[in-house]
Amino acid sequence: MRLVLAGTGSAVGKTTIATGIMKALSNEYTVQPFKVGPDHIDPTYHTLATGNYSRNLDSFFMTDGQIRHGYERSMEITKADFGIIEGVRGLYEGISPISDVGNTASVAKALNAPVVLILNSRSLVKSAAAVILGFKTLDPTIDIRGVILNQVKNRKHYLKTKEAVETLAKTEVVGGIPRDDAIRVESRHLGLVPAMEKESILESINKWGEMVKDYIDLDKLISIMKQTDKLPPGRQRLWETKNRQKVKIGVAMDEAFNFYYRDNLDALEENKAKIVYFSPLHDEELPDVDGVYIGGGYPEIFARQLESNQSMRNSILGLNEEGRPIYAECGGLMYISRSINSYKMCNIFNYHSFMMKKPQALSYVISKAKKKSIIADKDDMLKGHEFHYSKVDIKDKNPKFAFEILRGKGIIDNKDGLMLKNTVASYIHIHTAAYPSFASNLTTSSKEL
């Protein structure tokens, strides 16, 4: 029993409403949340609302069979009653103006899932019906079963717009959310503030849940989900499980570093890794581990505190000097550079990193391994995602890179993956489904050295 909550565009209130629905239903049911696309932040809200890890479903990273396997596996882990899937941008927005790759519609098709559209209805009445008709007509194979109106002015506005949509677009309106600045959430340059940073966000999520109960027909949403057919046939695993030796992998997890795909961590565990979490902000040194994984996040926000924790920086530098594997993504790349905005960092790579006012990269990535590393074999193809405002100041004439970028930007000159000994640092966020050998290679490398 599943449902896709899709927007008619960006910034229509998808995350607030989707998280509120998840929270409201979680009071009585077990809800498994999902997010379409490569987003790291929205899933932290879902997780906080439901108590279950939110998973990413993405048709650029995944085949249809992987989408179905990932969905089914997650539902089985939590024994969930309902799977709620928050879309990305508008229902049809992907990497192409024509195809479905990377969009919400592709995930709805792969799962044969009904869709409820979220529409910003500010200043719309009859035109709201035209918008919904357009969405239904563009691809009749998408099962659009309902509409949620957001930014409703008052009861009169809601009833008139509801009548227009239901009469002219023949689509049921299942609720209308009033305009209320009190239910907005703080954001910053990469999106919403990660839920683990703000205790007040839990209070906000509780408010969203109450709002949903007041203004959305949850019984109707449940009825729509209960009418879903079985998943289509065809399954494909998300990752390989080749490592057979136990290994300990340190994973940086705190306010500064928390951008991880949960499937990546599960893939490590299924490859015999014991994950040991540590905090570059708060811990004095690394725990006893065989290798380290430093994900993305907001190290630039916490640069002063990261600099002040010199013992941790020295500990990570020492691990590199010992030749132990270190894999760092995006914010992790910045942290193991020489500095972030002049604040001293680990200095594994003697390059300064600094923030820019505009995005430096926002793209799905296709890369090819130029040489063997701790995560990839030579000539392997890896897909990922890059989204950052920072730059790394590369002054060497011949820095050693692991990857050639075929789609995307990389660090410099279509190259990415700085290498030194057994450390790889990249702007690419890799999802295990897009490179199923990721976890088996990293765990194997950590035990071999």
Q: What angle do CA 43, 217, 181 make, to 5 degrees?
A: 60
Rounded to an integer, what distance in angstroms lies between the CA atom of residue 301 and that of residue 303?
A: 6
Of 330, 336, 365, 424, the catalytic one is: 330
Q: What dihedral do alpha carbons 129, 139, 22, 174 form, nearest 10°?
A: 30
Residue 330 is among the residues annotated as catalytic for this protein: yes
Single-letter amino acid code for the residue at 443: T
Q: Is 271 exposed, middle or buried (0-12, 13-18, 19+ CB in 10 A)?
A: buried
Secondary structure, 3-state, 157-178: HHHHHHHHHHHHCCCEEEEEEE
Measured in degrees and rounded to the nearest 5, phi and psi for residue 29 equal -130, 165
Rounded to an integer, what distance in angstroms lies between the CA atom of residue 271 and that of residue 354?
A: 35
Give the residue from 214, 199, 207 showing the smallest Cα distance to 255.
Answer: 199
Secondary structure, 3-state, 306-325: HHHCHHHHHHHHHHHHCCCC
Give the residue from 256, 299, 260 showing the smallest Cα distance to 279.
Answer: 256
Q: What's the sign of the alpha-carbon dihedral 279, 285, 291, 292?
A: positive
Rounded to an integer, what distance in angstroms lies between the CA atom of residue 228 and that of residue 218?
A: 16
Rounded to an integer, what distance in angstroms lies between the CA atom of residue 196 and that of residue 41?
A: 10
Catalytic residues: 330
